[in-house]
C-alpha cells in the first residue's frame, strides 16, 4: 500500500495566519528545523516547508506548510492561501491585544471561506514573555471554544508546546476510510 493519502500516511496542506510579528515564521522554523533565530528576516511572499511526524498508532502525517506574509498586508490574497487547506493555524501574540483581535477576524474569514472540514488551531505565541502578557489565557480558551478550535499557548523562542501543537492537530485530522 502506501499511497500519499492512504489511511496510514496523510499529506495535508497547513496554512499559518495572523498579524505580522506574532511569530508565525518562528513557529514554523522551530517545528521544521528545531531552530530559533531572533534576527531572521521578515518572510516575503509565501515560504513553503514540509515536515512529517509519526503518531503513536504508526500513522504518519506530512504537513505541507504555507507560511504566508502577503496575507498580513493584502487580506484579499488570503483565500488563495487557504483554499484546499486541511489545517489552519491562527496565531496571535499574548503581549499584543490587537493581534488577538486580528486572530478573531481570521477565524471569521476561515469559517466563511475555508473548507467546512478544516481543522483550526488558535495559538497564543510568545508565552515566554509572561511578564508582558496582555491577553489572558482565558480569553484564548473562550474564543477557541466558541469556534470549535483547538487552543494552545506556545513559545517559538523556548520551543514550549511547539511539537504538542502539531501533534494535537495531527490527532484531530479526519482519517480517510481504511
Ligand atoms: P511573523 O511576522 O508572524 O512571521 O513573525 P516572526 O516569526 O518573523 O517573528 C517576529 C518577531 O517575534 C521576531 O523578532 C522573533 O524573534 C520574535 N518571536 C517570535 N516568536 C517568539 C517567541 O515565542 N517569544 C519571543 N520572545 N519572541 C518571539
Ligand atoms: Mg513571517
Rounded Cα distance, 49 and 12, in Å:
12
Instruction: Say if residues 119 and 82 touch (Cβ distance below 8 Å).
Output: no
The DSSP output letter for 28 is H
Contact call for residues 77 and 107 (beta carbons, < 8 A): no
Q: How far is the CA of 38 from the centre of ligand 2 (A)?
A: 12
Closest to 160 in 3D by CA, of 31, 11, 22: 31
Q: Whose CA is nearest to atom 26 of ligand 1?
A: 126
DSSP codes joined into one string, 98-156: HHHHHHHHHHHHHHHHS-TT-EEEEEEE-GGGGGG--S-HHHHHHHHHHTT-EEEE--T
Distance 21 CA to ligand 1 centre (A): 6
Decide if 94 contacts 133 (C-beta within 8 A): yes
Q: Which atom of ligand 1 is nearest to the CA of 67?
A: 4
Residues β-bridged to residue 12: 63
Instruction: Give me ligand 1 centre to Cα 84, in Å.
Output: 27
| pLDDT for 1 | 47
Give the Cα separation of 154 and 169 in Å (integer): 14
Ligand nearest to the CA of 20: 1
pLDDT along the chain (178 residues), means of 10: 69 93 93 80 64 91 85 72 92 98 95 92 98 98 97 98 97 82
Residue 26 Cα: closest atom of ligand 1: 7
Whole-structure pTM over 0.95, yes or no? no
What are the pocket residues of ligand 1 if the criterion is a CB atom closer than 6 Å to any ligand atom?
18, 20-26, 38, 42-43, 125-126, 128-129, 155-157
The alpha carbon of 44 and the centre of ligand 2 are apart by a number of angstroms equal to 8
**Cα–Cα distance, 51 to 132 (Å, whole number):** 32
Residue located nearest, by CA, to atom 15 of ligand 1 = 38
**From the CA of 43, how far away is ligand 2's center (Å)?**
4
Whether the complex's predicted ipTM surpasses the cut of 0.90: yes
The reported pLDDT for the residue numbered 3 is 55
In angstroms, the CA 162 to CA 155 distance is 7
Amino acid at each position: 500500500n502506501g499511497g500519499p493519502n492512504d489511511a496510514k500516511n496523510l499529506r495535508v496542506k497547513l496554512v499559518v495566519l495572523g498579524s505580522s510579528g506574532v511569530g508565525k515564521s518562528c513557529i514554523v522554523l522551530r517545528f521544521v528545523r528545531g531552530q530559533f533565530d531572533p534576527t531572521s528576516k521578515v518572510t516575503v511572499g509565501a515560504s513553503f516547508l514540509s515536515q512529517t511526524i509519526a503518531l503513536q498508532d504508526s500513522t504518519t502525517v506530512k504537513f505541507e506548510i504555507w507560511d504566508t506574509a502577503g496575507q498580513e498586508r493584502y487580506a484579499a490574497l488570503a483565500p488563495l492561501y487557504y483554499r484546499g487547506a486541511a489545517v489552519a493555524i491562527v496565531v496571535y501574540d499574548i503581549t499584543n491585544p490587537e493581534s488577538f483581535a486580528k486572530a478573531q477576524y481570521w477565524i471569521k474569514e476561515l469559517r466563511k471561506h475555508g473548507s467546512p472540514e478544516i481543522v483550526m488551531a488558535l495559538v497564543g505565541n510568545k508565552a515566554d514573555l509572561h511578564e508582558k502578557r496582555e491577553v489572558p489565557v482565558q480569553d484564548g480558551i473562550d474564543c477557541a471554544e466558541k469556534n470549535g478550535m483547538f487552543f494552545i499557548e506556545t513559545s517559538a523562542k523556548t520551543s514550549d508546546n511547539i511539537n504538542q501543537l502539531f501533534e494535537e492537530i495531527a490527532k484531530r485530522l479526519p482519517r480517510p476510510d481504511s
